[in-house]
Amino acid sequence: MTVQLKRGQALGALSLTPLIDVVFLLLIFFLVASRLSQEDQELDIPLPSAANAAPMIAQPQEMIVNIDKEGALFVNGRFLSEAEFERLLRQAVADNPAGPAVIIRADRRVPLQTPVHVMDMCLKWGATYSLTIAQEGS
């Protein structure tokens, strides 16, 4: 006794011709694209050089400056005078010519002149800065 299997109609309706066409088009596209990229690398073009370019010699890092209510500056938990902070900022700019990011966190009771003076030093040496004033309970 032979077993008769009924084929589904979905398999008979599936046409592979469009799928094969798409595969061939993708193959041609990638062959042409890889050949063009190879030709771009083989061209002998002298590239321009910059006379004033300065490479980054240190990983850019954020410098967090905390200012307490008396106007004292703290960087990395260490008290710094304004002259010491300026030297540290100058060194950070020398290590990263693009300019370090300085985050200024000031107590809300500090006189405004101290954060403004720190921002002025940042502008003087080419560092970017952002100012945050601590709120009550922070």
pLDDT tens-digit readout, 55-68 = 656 556 788 899 98
Handedness of CA 118, 122, 127, 131 (dihedral sign): positive
121 CB-near residues (< 8 Å, 6+ apart): 82, 85, 86, 89
Q: CB–CB of 103/65 below 8 Å?
A: yes
**pLDDT value of residue 9:** 62
Report helix, strand or coil for 31: helix
Look up residue 113 and give its two tokens. 């002149």
Rg (CA), the chain: 32
Mean pLDDT of 111-131: 88
Looking at 3.30.420.270, 3.40.50.620, 3.40.30.10, 3.30.479.10, the CATH number of the domain 62-133 comes to 3.30.420.270
**pLDDT value of residue 33:** 82
Which residues lie across from 105 on neighbouring strands? 66, 132
The H-or-E segment that residue 90 falls in is helix 82-95
Q: pTM of the predicted model, to two decimals? A: 0.54
pLDDT band at residue 77, thresholds of 50, 70 and 90? Answer: confident
Nearest to 85 by CA among 120, 33, 48, 61: 120
Per-residue pLDDT reduced to its tens digit, 9-20: 656 667 788 889
Residue ranges per domain, the chain? 16-42, 62-133
Per-residue pLDDT reduced to its tens digit, 23-66: 999 999 988 887 776 666 665 666 566 667 666 565 567 888 99
Cα distance between residue 4 and residue 54, in whole Å: 80
